Amino acid sequence: MGTITLINNETGKSYEFDLIDCTRGPKAINFSKLFETTGIFSYDPGYGSTAGCESTISYIDGKKGELLYKGIPIEDLVMHYSFSDICKFLISGDLPKNEQESLEFDLELRHRGFLHEKLKRMFDVFPDRAHPMATLSALVSVLSTLYVDYKDEGDTDDYQTMARRIIGKIPTMVAYCYRNSVGAPFIQPDISKSYIENFLYMLRGYPHSRLKHTIYGEQEISELEIKALNKILILHADHGQNASTTTVRNVASTGVHPYAAISSGISALWGPVHGGANEKVLRQLNEIGDVKNVDKFIARAKDKNDSFRLMGFGHRVYKNYDPRAKVLKTLKDELDQQGIKMDSYLSDIAQKVEEVALSDDYFKERGLYPNVDFYSGIILTALKIPTELFTPIFVMGRMPGWCAQLIEHNKNPHARITRPRQVYLGK
Ligand code: ACO
């Protein structure tokens, strides 16, 4: 631990602040008493240089392009674990020690997949064209009216139950959002199917599963699809103090019901420059329409008088290739070879966009690389996931991260209500 000295050039006074050694990455200045000591506060719009909490959940090295969950690189986790294993890991701190433990946790999630009948009736109030992110945020908020038994006194068991329940229910909600929008009847969770298979079944299955029909035609759920979705969800499971996680923590800091905090996180994730980018990327690739138009769109992205941005490019922390995008790019090619065919029209345009952008000085100077949203949509399309469900799938993936962050926040006796200041420039 070192110190740093701040000198006020107006008064000549100097002040010393402690430096905090993070276990990885750069040091931080402890400015928590900055105002009390100096009478001056810090200004950092968008919080690019500010940490709002201590955390042990995920670590990003933006320069190297590295992401770790509890110290383990995501590349290792996607190779060896299922998404439900990662849920267990993030919320309880331990990976399953063997297949039995892995199955037990998956089974618990499956059993928690059923929705309260009253919650199902809520779907009637949403119009067919309601965006599923709005529906999901509302439904999760309603969960806080159905599960009022948590005590919120730092009770770890209550928060574990809260986490497992919502992780169990969110796939059902996502699948029902879609079925409701197309007027298809809901399918009850089938606990004989794994967490991921069950989601695909509830999304696609014909109401009578004995008939091997689906709403997409004669389509069985393959092991390869289950594996692919497991990987995609693992890659989205946690990502430091991003906008939606910060929202969850901020809202939780007021002491509100945990599902109300998560509902706010879903709303924050919906935004097109955050999780909503995966849907926008696909729409943008379609808008580009042909590899020969790529240069024109890249020129628009660089034009400061044009609000057009290249969706799926750039990141606040990564100034290198987003490691999640790297895994997804490889996964896309592997799936294509193994029989889940990518839409070559979309793939070719994406490939060209990446090539042109990565060799362009504008993108190089600003460290703008493909992020997690750039390739996920192409894979989800190949998995026959409707475009409007891309961001809800992100919600499914991020749910264990939000829950882990809530658990961490709740355990911290020094956590305070979030209350930033403002640089007042008004009358
Ligand atoms: N296309 C073109 N230019 C870009 C892009 C882009 N996608 N992203 C950043 N830039 C430019 C900015 O115009 C700015 O240029 P300037 O220095 O000449 O003014 C510079 O790069 C820095 O950009 P900021 O907006 O300051 O970066 P910030 O960290 O605030 O924003 C963000 C990061 C929001 C992700 C941004 O890169 C973006 O809008 N990307 C497109 C949307 C997207 O893909 N979002 C998903 C991110 S991943 C996630 O949240 C799950």
Residue 325 has pLDDT above 80, yes or no: yes
Residues with a catalytic annotation lie at 315, 373
Going by the DSSP 8-state scheme, the letter that residue 292 receives in this structure is G
Amino acid of residue 167: I
Question: In the structure, what pLDDT confidence band is assigned to residue 157 with cuts at 50, 70 and 90?
Answer: confident
Give residue-wise pLDDT tens across range 72-98.
Answer: 999 999 999 999 999 999 999 999 999
Q: pLDDT value at position 211?
A: 44
**Which protein residue's CA is at the shortest distance from atom 8 of ligand 1?**
314
Non-local CB neighbours of 357 within 8 Å, separated by 6+ positions:
298, 301, 310, 313, 363, 368
- 309 ligand 1 Cβ < 6 A: yes
| 309-342: b (≥16 Cβ within 10 Å) or e | bbbbbbbebbebbbbbbbbbbebbeebbeeebeb
Distance 50 CA to ligand 1 centre (A): 18
Output the six-digit token pair for 288.
């580009």
CB 70 within 8 A of CB 237: no
- Which residue ranges form the domains of the chain, and what is each CATH number? 3-51 (2.20.28.60), 87-269+395-411 (1.10.580.10), 277-382 (1.10.230.10)
Q: Mean of the per-residue pLDDT values for the chain?
A: 94
Task: State which ligand 1 atom lies nearest to the alpha carbon of 275.
Answer: 51
Distance 46 CA to ligand 1 centre (A): 12
Q: pLDDT value at position 213?
A: 43
**Which protein residue's CA is at the shortest distance from atom 27 of ligand 1?**
316
Residue 245 has pLDDT above 90, yes or no: yes
Residue 308 has pLDDT above 50, yes or no: yes
Output the six-digit token pair for 159.
């928060």
Task: State which ligand 1 atom lies nearest to the alpha carbon of 371.
Answer: 48
Distance 61 CA to ligand 1 centre (A): 18
**Which protein residue's CA is at the shortest distance from atom 16 of ligand 1?**
366
Give residue-wise pLDDT tens across range 389-405.
Answer: 999 999 999 999 999 99
* Helix, strand, or coil (residue 58): strand
Task: State which ligand 1 atom lies nearest to the alpha carbon of 314.
Answer: 37
How far apart are the C-alpha atoms of 269 and 167, rounded to whole Å?
Answer: 17
Output the six-digit token pair for 387.
């475009």
**CA nearest to 178, candidates 198, 194, 202:** 202
Question: In the structure, what pLDDT confidence band is assigned to residue 347 with cuts at 50, 70 and 90?
Answer: very high
**CA nearest to 18, candidates 8, 37, 31:** 31
- The number of C-alpha atoms within 13 Å of 380 and in the hemisphere containing its C-beta is 22
Percent of the chain with pLDDT over 90: 91
- pTM to 2 decimal places: 0.96
Going by the DSSP 8-state scheme, the letter that residue 97 receives in this structure is S
- Cβ neighbours, 10 Å, residue 31: 18
How far apart are the C-alpha atoms of 41 and 402, rounded to whole Å?
Answer: 29
How far apart are the C-alpha atoms of 342 and 332, rounded to whole Å?
Answer: 7
Q: pLDDT value at position 150?
A: 64
Q: pLDDT value at position 210?
A: 45
Percent of the chain with pLDDT over 70: 95
Q: pLDDT value at position 41?
A: 97
Residue 267 has pLDDT above 80, yes or no: yes
Distance 364 CA to ligand 1 centre (A): 13
